[in-house]
Amino acid sequence: AREQALRAATGPGATSDGHAVPLLANLGGPGEVKAALANGAEGVGLYRTEFLFLDRKQPPTGAEQETAYRAVLEAFPGGKVVVRTLDAGADKPLAFLPPQGEEPNPALGERGLRMFRVHPEVMAEQLDALARAAEGLPAQLQVMAPMVATVEEATWFTEACRARGLTSAGVMIEVPAAALRAGDLAAAVDFFSIGTNDLAQYTFAADRQVGALSALQDAWQPALLDLIASAVGEHGRPCGVCGEAAADPVLACVLVGLGVSTLSMSAPSLPAVRAGLAGHTLAQCRAAAEAARAQSTAAGARAAARAALPRLA
């Protein structure tokens, strides 16, 4: 029991019956690596590269980008590091990449991968810098695009990655269309990662920056759980979660029960999620997921899941 408690506190993520769920960190740059390692992150599930681009008049050079990417890759030898390409626009506007026209609804505008369709040279420079950063390192670099809605977008992105020798290319699922049609997208990508923050925003038509609508940003909403189940699907591609939902220990068990393969969160949340998983079997996680989805309200879903997970109740 002592050994089990120790593993629960520091070891790799797993259910009590040994189903591995790698626990990864969300970070915005090399400055956050230390906290990730201190909390036992097994890798990086979301490197938000836009922080390198924010608050500047000129974009960072390719060499500058390479240095920032390499610093994170070097910190996780043998571990997986998922780097998200620039997610500009909406809540993260960039001075040197303004939208082409006025956008009354920036969250529904030229953001994420859509910005790269307008400025492919910015994507080319970022992917080139990533390919150089990973050269000769043992880390497993995975590159993913934000705000993908269609198969054409996913294909365009993964082809650009493959042309540079980037062998693992995936997309975020944060638009309901992508969650509904993950099976079609699967043919174009190597992996998925669900961004529950934006997926909730677009599912409930509730701006994530409007605090008054926060109840509609609740990841326990059964409609969101249904979309997550649809995204995980039976397409055979690994599907992680890197939105805030992964940081809630009860919801983390439910996500694993829905078939999610990895969980990525801000570093301080890792220990509680690790302990929650270690206290339950995969079958209990599945039962909790089923019980939550059988409810019709967010509060009901949370209560039902809690009741099915005795160590977290």
Applying CB under 6 A, the residues found at the interface with ligand PEP are 46, 48, 87, 174, 195-198, 242-243
Q: Which does 242 bind (CB under 5 to 8 A by kind): ligand PEP, Mg ion, none?
A: ligand PEP
CB 146 to Mg ion: min, Å: 6
Among Mg ion, ligand PEP, none, what does residue 16 contact (CB within 5–8 Å per kind)? Answer: none
| CB neighbour burial string for 268-293, b if at least 16 within 10 angstroms, e if fewer | ebbbebbebbbbbebebbbbbbebbb
151 closest CA partner among 123, 184, 199: 184
The residue among 242 and 291 lying less far from ligand PEP, judged by its C-beta, is 242
Output 42 or 87, the one with its CB closest to ligand PEP: 87
Measured from the CB atom, the residue of 65 and 201 that comes closer to ligand PEP is 201
Among positions 145-174, residues that touch Mg ion (CB under 5 A) are 174
How many residues bind Mg ion, per CB under 5 A? 3
Is residue 42 part of the contact set for Mg ion (CB under 5 A)? Answer: no
**Binding region for Mg ion (CB under 5 A) out of 191-199, 205-213, 226-234, 272-280:** 191-199
Residue 36 to residue 47: CA distance in whole angstroms: 12
Q: Are 181 and 151 within 8 A, CB to CB?
A: yes
Work out whether 198 is an interface residue with Mg ion (CB under 5 A).
yes
- Partner interacting with residue 153 (select from Mg ion, ligand PEP, none; CB below 5-8 Å by kind): none
Helix 298-308 × helix 222-232 angle, to 10°: 60
The least CB distance from residue 232 to ligand PEP, in Å, is 15
Q: Compute the least distance from the CB of residue 280 to Mg ion, in Å.
A: 28
Min dist CB 289 to ligand PEP, Å, is 19
Q: Which does 248 bind (CB under 5 to 8 A by kind): Mg ion, ligand PEP, none?
A: none
Q: Report the distance separating Cα 91 and Cα 84, nearest Å.
A: 16
- Smaller CB separation from ligand PEP, 80 or 280: 80
Minimum CB–partner distance for residue 200 and Mg ion (Å): 10
Give Cβ neighbours of residue 137 (< 8 Å, ≥ 6 apart).
70, 73, 74, 77
C-beta of 145: minimal distance to ligand PEP in Å?
12
CA 127 to CA 145: how far, in whole Å? 11
| β-pair partners for 48 | 84
Q: How far apart are CA 31 and CA 75, in angstroms?
A: 11
- Out of ligand PEP, Mg ion, none, what residue 66 binds, judged by CB under 5 to 8 A for its kind, is none
Task: Tell the smallest beta-carbon distance from residue 150 to Mg ion (Å).
Answer: 17
Pairing of strands 169-173, 191-194: parallel
- 195 scored as a contact of Mg ion (CB under 5 A): yes
**Nearest one of 121, 119, 53, 110 to 84, comparing CA atoms:** 53
Please give the single-letter amino acid code of residue 87: D
Amino acid at 132: R
Lookup: tokens for 159: 């082809």
In the complex, the residues that contact Mg ion under the rule CB under 5 A are 174, 195, 198
